Chain A
């Protein structure tokens, strides 16, 4: 059963109420989450959400209204309400709004999925988390935690520009964490990432993570960190593992190239951007090694889709090429306002939320080396991996990251484990110092990107490989 008729009714009602453009999405989403602690399942939740959100453009003002009722009458009422809200926006009007073209027509898309994650028996999924957390606990963790999450989303999109697009996107992922308690501090090791690995794939992704096989090592390393020397303070050569680099890309590149931030639309909350559109195409963002792409077509990555929530088809695009800033994440209205001719990066986290500019898969193209080669080429430095904390200013310039684990690098070899490693810097200066880059790329998934008011949680993907940076300040402490 499709829901194009309900979405179409909402769009027509908004047009009848005076909108010059309208679009509507019906979304059905099932989610399932299980968490486990110390060999026992702690929480299991299976949720279902269904509803319709309609967006109306009246004059130069937007309105959005959402309801969980999929009847024809409710859909029409929602369309009228969206137009009414748009009309109220005109009390404090902005500049004229245009929309760049978004393709058009009828289309259907589904993400790849070998094993439907919702069809895997709960007992099988529970046994996995129980076994993995028990293994970490048995190996000496004071606290062992595990989690999996599944999202199964179907949506039907209709616009007054002629779109009729349906999509079925299945996402899932999992991870475990082992904690060790010391004298007034806690050390933590996570596998495969600090909140797990996620993608637009089926349960085969979770099977590949080998959670139980890595549990004891995580516990061992967490305990070892309690007595490891502190990360030294000062400037040094920094090698980042791919998982940490993925979050570095997310925070200091992905958010900075969001066009709504650049235009000031997020100024009061998420913030703006240090990037100035006048320098698009000429500004040096990083070293020649820095090639960042926006690519929602990567099979299985968490930021993949067939069409965004404005109906723009997924397409790869350069954001940074040979260190020069060349592209942004854009929506139909923000692109038109900036004088750009492309959109394609607008999504919402559900039927009740307004679609907005969001990262898709924003990743760093691989380099020529291996991590071992990078270590071998480093006389003196620190290797850090697996994020522990992240913070960046509202213009996306000044960042400070903490990692779960670090290692001393001396004379081309990995040495002692280091405790509480942190590093800090300024985005473009940091990226310009990147002088070695690995070929060992993984598309890391970030399922908890917060943005917007009312708040929305976005799912993004970040292909990244280990890389080396020079003259980075490390070891910031409180």
Chain B
């Protein structure tokens, strides 16, 4: 496939040539030139209160020179800015201590076929986002609402001194909102490759239904409970597994629970990483991204690598290099938990709190909790991946397959791999839902999960 000549390809190529001329033919350099545009319309108290957009081109250079490595970046892309970037990166490399872990450059490697991206999402204006916000607010029928609607676009090129040049584009959209009633919050959030797929009215109605069902909560005693986690909560499991468990650097440093080839999860668990969301089809080292099978039927098959962690682990890069991956490790950004077999649909009144992916699982739970969201989760021990955090945006007691009471938020302290371990997964929802990360442009795709045990260690009220 021929790489199209775009502004970013031209920019990356010019920096490669500039580096050769200033650092000499022996320099190994890799350059990413990326134009990104992000726009986010935020609402609270049922009104748009923040409405922002930016468009930025960033050029990043990593240089290996005489056994030493340095990186740099700039948003100043005129000739003077680019020359300054190369000069200071060359100077930094010359003054740096030796880098024995340098993994070398990615050779010319074709990208997989372009999956395409949605031009309309890339070009969306503030009015299109505001319309979805208006629909969300109106669908909540007077409940107080808050959240955001986001669109993002990236066009990026990679070039290195080994002759590898690639270009790609991506676009994503996301909407995330809550409705509030008498101190109870309900949430609905979706990620999509096309803004047109986001239905503000449907999300607002879902959030409002959850909020209405969450009023007058009871307090339950701490303890181990059977739970159904909705996709919004499962996304947090995937986030932490990606950051600390499937992180190739943590794996190479023996800080991860991951053991390749071992049955570490229940047979119902299959996890892949997909090049979706705001992700370009290659990483910061130019390695093409492809679907990465991390867990297959409960067996850990792989972790995510950049070239450095791959070399340390005796493996190959999986296309997860980032500007920070040498320090923080290569982190998979778009984990996908495979849905379960088709289950009998369980009809539910629209006013009910249960997400569609969770309904069949709730129907099969004798006594346990339906949990919407996990919040402020932090690692207590990285190796066992024990995490503490709280529930948020709706918890309900389920008895004999029926939601019987709203429950106050609770704190949990739980090993995530243990919760998903062999025999611990009682059911996997039949519908995987794309959920946006609340912090960045990545997404997690997951069904609801029915788990045998979740360790709730306290009530949020004390």
Residues of A within 8 A of B386 (CB): 478
How distant is the Cα of A266 from the Cα of B53 in the complex, in angstroms? 18
Interface of chain A residues 24 through 63 with chain B (CB within 8 A)? 33, 35, 40-51, 53, 61-63
> Is B99 in the interface zone, CB < 8 Å from A?
yes
Residues of B within 8 A of A127 (CB): 97
Choose among A46, A86, A353, A393 the residue that contacts B92 (Cβ–Cβ < 8 A): A46
Residues of B within 8 A of A391 (CB): 376-378, 388-390, 411
Measured CB to CB, the closest approach of chain A to B372, in angstroms, equals 13
How distant is the Cα of A33 from the Cα of B455 in the complex, in angstroms? 39
> Is A321 in the interface zone, CB < 8 Å from B?
no
Central interface residue in B97, B387, B440, by most chain A CB within 10 Å: B97
- Interface stretch (choices A90-98, A196-204, A297-305): A90-98
Choose among B53, B150, B460 the residue that contacts A65 (Cβ–Cβ < 8 A): B53
Asked if B75 contacts A49 (CB within 8 A), the reply is yes
- Interface stretch (choices B13-21, B22-30, B66-74): B66-74
Residues of B within 8 A of A61 (CB): 48, 51
How distant is the Cα of A63 from the Cα of B40 in the complex, in angstroms? 11
How distant is the Cα of A92 from the Cα of B145 in the complex, in angstroms? 12
Asked if A85 contacts B52 (CB within 8 A), the reply is yes
> Is B178 in the interface zone, CB < 8 Å from A?
yes
Residues of B within 8 A of A147 (CB): 327
Report the contact-size class of chain B (Cβ under 8 Å from the partner): 35 or more
Contact flag A186-B382 (CB < 8 Å), given A88-B127, A89-B51, A267-B178: yes
Residues of A within 8 A of B74 (CB): 47-50
Annotate A120-148 by CB proximity to B: 1 below 8 A, 0 otherwise.
01110011001000000000001100010
Annotate B373-392 by CB proximity to A: 1 below 8 A, 0 otherwise.
00111111111101111101
Contact flag A454-B411 (CB < 8 Å), given A94-B45, A265-B49: no
Asked if A266 contacts B458 (CB within 8 A), the reply is no
> Is A160 in the interface zone, CB < 8 Å from B?
no
Choose among B42, B58, B253 the residue that contacts A453 (Cβ–Cβ < 8 A): B42
Looking at chain B's contact residues, the main secondary structure is strand
> Is A429 in the interface zone, CB < 8 Å from B?
yes
Residues of A within 8 A of B89 (CB): 46
How many chain A residues touch the partner (CB < 8 A)? 85
How distant is the Cα of A92 from the Cα of B101 in the complex, in angstroms? 54
How distant is the Cα of A429 from the Cα of B255 in the complex, in angstroms? 37
A-B CB pair tally, cutoff 8 Å: 275
Asked if A122 contacts B96 (CB within 8 A), the reply is yes
Interface of chain B residues 440 through 462 with chain A (CB within 8 A)? 440, 455, 457-462
Annotate B68-90 by CB proximity to A: 1 below 8 A, 0 otherwise.
01111111110001001100110
Measured CB to CB, the closest approach of chain B to A121, in angstroms, equals 6
Annotate A68-111 by CB proximity to B: 1 below 8 A, 0 otherwise.
10000000000001001110111111110000000000000000
> Is A229 in the interface zone, CB < 8 Å from B?
no
Interface of chain B residues 342 through 394 with chain A (CB within 8 A)? 375-384, 386-390, 392
Measured CB to CB, the closest approach of chain B to A266, in angstroms, equals 7
Residues of B within 8 A of A429 (CB): 462
Central interface residue in B177, B326, B377, by most chain A CB within 10 Å: B326
* Chain A, Cβ-Cβ closest to B457: A476
Contact flag A400-B148 (CB < 8 Å), given A47-B73, A267-B178: no
How distant is the Cα of A266 from the Cα of B176 in the complex, in angstroms? 13
Interface of chain A residues 245 through 268 with chain B (CB within 8 A)? 263-268
Contact flag A398-B390 (CB < 8 Å), given A62-B50, A91-B127, A184-B384: yes
Asked if A121 contacts B95 (CB within 8 A), the reply is yes
Contact flag A44-B44 (CB < 8 Å), given A352-B54, A390-B378: no
Asked if A126 contacts B97 (CB within 8 A), the reply is yes
Asked if A50 contacts B45 (CB within 8 A), the reply is no
Residues of A within 8 A of B40 (CB): 453-454
Asked if B255 contacts A143 (CB within 8 A), the reply is yes
- Interface stretch (choices A15-23, A280-288, A376-384, A420-428): A420-428
Asked if A40 contacts B97 (CB within 8 A), the reply is yes
Central interface residue in B388, B409, B414, B462, by most chain A CB within 10 Å: B388
Measured CB to CB, the closest approach of chain B to A52, in angstroms, equals 10
Residues of B within 8 A of A368 (CB): none
How distant is the Cα of A267 from the Cα of B392 in the complex, in angstroms? 12
Residues of A within 8 A of B375 (CB): 393-394
Contact flag A94-B414 (CB < 8 Å), given A40-B97, A389-B388, A391-B376: no
The 9 closest A-B pairs by CB, nearest first: A94-B47, A88-B126, A66-B54, A268-B146, A122-B95, A478-B413, A91-B130, A43-B326, A89-B48
A62-B49, A402-B388, A453-B148 are known contacts; what are 16 more A-B pairs with Cβ within 8 Å?
A40-B100, A43-B327, A47-B73, A51-B75, A61-B51, A67-B56, A88-B129, A88-B130, A90-B48, A185-B383, A265-B45, A353-B54, A391-B377, A394-B376, A453-B439, A477-B413
Instruction: Please list 23 pairs of residues, one from A and one from B, whose beta carbons are closer than 8 Å in the complex, sorted by A's number.
Output: A35-B326, A41-B99, A42-B327, A44-B71, A46-B88, A47-B73, A48-B72, A48-B85, A62-B50, A66-B52, A67-B54, A85-B53, A265-B49, A268-B147, A269-B148, A394-B390, A398-B460, A402-B378, A402-B388, A425-B462, A450-B439, A476-B458, A477-B413
